[in-house]
Structure 1
Amino acid sequence: MSLHLRGVKPPITSDQQPLTKVPKAPAYLSVQARAEWKRVVPVLVSRRVICAADLAQVETYCLMAGRVREIEEQFSAAGGLIDVKLFGVQNRAAQTARQIAATLGLDPVSRARLGNNAPEDDGDNPLSVS
């Protein structure tokens, strides 16, 4: 069975034309989204895993992470009362941010893939399928 059929994600490797300096955050980002940009983009640039074409995905991640924080601030301002509609929006934004973070290497599992470029060795496993 090939690696692609096992649900194993390919390792994250350096991009062929990675960004070498941190781009300025887009002007339309909210305060919370801009803070997330300033937190994660320097990390991605230093890891050499993003190029100019990836910036739209990074922007979306920052927008979604910022939206989660904005809604949480609204909940706090309302004394902890939760608006069910806002909670749904917050939940979807958090899911989207989590999914994009994984593709960018911003979660522990995808960070582990950064350092592991070798395929799995199933040689000693009698249950492995070749």
Structure 2
Amino acid sequence: MRGRKPKLKVIEGGLTQGRCPPAPAWLTAQAKAEWRRAAPEIHGRKLLTPDTLATLESYCIVAGLVRELEEVMGRDGRMIETEDGPKPHPAFKMQSAAMREARLLATELGFMPHRRAAKTQEESKSDDWADDLLA
């Protein structure tokens, strides 16, 4: 989207109040570990709302999957022997797709450094119309 980005405003009652919610019980151990790392950060920035919970769950699932697939390839090796000779482990393709999805979800949640820097720059800009002409 080109031009000035709209300023986001906190909607009263939308934030999860109090403590950061625990990881859902149905997540895998790897996904729960990612939840324990990521959820407090989002909660601390007051961005953990009911509509971002599903995005956070999805992010934790794929981040956990990346780690699980890494364990599988660490155990079996990145290349496997087949009738036609050595081939990349099937988990490699799955892991690549999961990493791509994790990156996209992390961007949505504001985990990427360039997203945090953009938010900081937007907050520090003045509302002077002359600044818009130079941008």
TM-score, with structure 1 as normaliser:
0.78
Structure 1 stretch displaced more, 94-103 or 112-121 = 112-121
Choose 1 or 2 for highest CA Rg.
2
After TM superposition, the structure 1 = structure 2 runs for residues 84-123 of structure 1, keeping only pairs within 5 Å, are 84-118=89-123, 121=131, 123=133
CA-CA distance at 1:111 after TM superposition = 1.3
RMSD: 2.5
Structure 1: state its 5+ residue gaps: 126-130
Q: Structure 2: 5+ residue runs without aligned partners?
A: 81-87
Aligned match of 1:128: none
Q: 3-state DSSP class of the match of 1:5?
A: coil
CA gap 1:38/1:11 in 2 versus in 1, 3 angstroms: farther
Higher relative contact order (CA 8 A, sep 6+): 1
The match for 1:36 is: 34
Equivalent position SS for 1:117: helix
1:19 to 3, 16, 35: 16
1:89 maps to a residue whose letter is: M
Q: Deviations over 1:81-130 (max 9, x none)?
A: 364421111111111110010011101011113323356945347xxxxx
Q: 1:124 to 1:113 in 2, by over 3 A?
A: closer
In structure 2, the partner of 1:54 is 52
% of aligned pairs identical? Answer: 34
The answer as to whether partners of 2:63 and 2:99 remain within 8 angstroms in 1 is: yes
Q: Secondary structure at the match of 2:26?
A: coil
Q: Match of 2:40, as an amino acid?
A: P
Q: CA separation in 2, counterparts of 1:80 and 1:46?
A: 38
Contact 1:67 1:93 (8 Å CA) reproduced: yes
TM-score by length of 2: 0.75
Normalized per residue, the structure richer in strand is 2
| Number of residues of Structure 1 aligned to a counterpart in Structure 2 | 120
Take 2:100 and 2:6, find their aligned partners in 1: how far apart are those partners?
A: 22
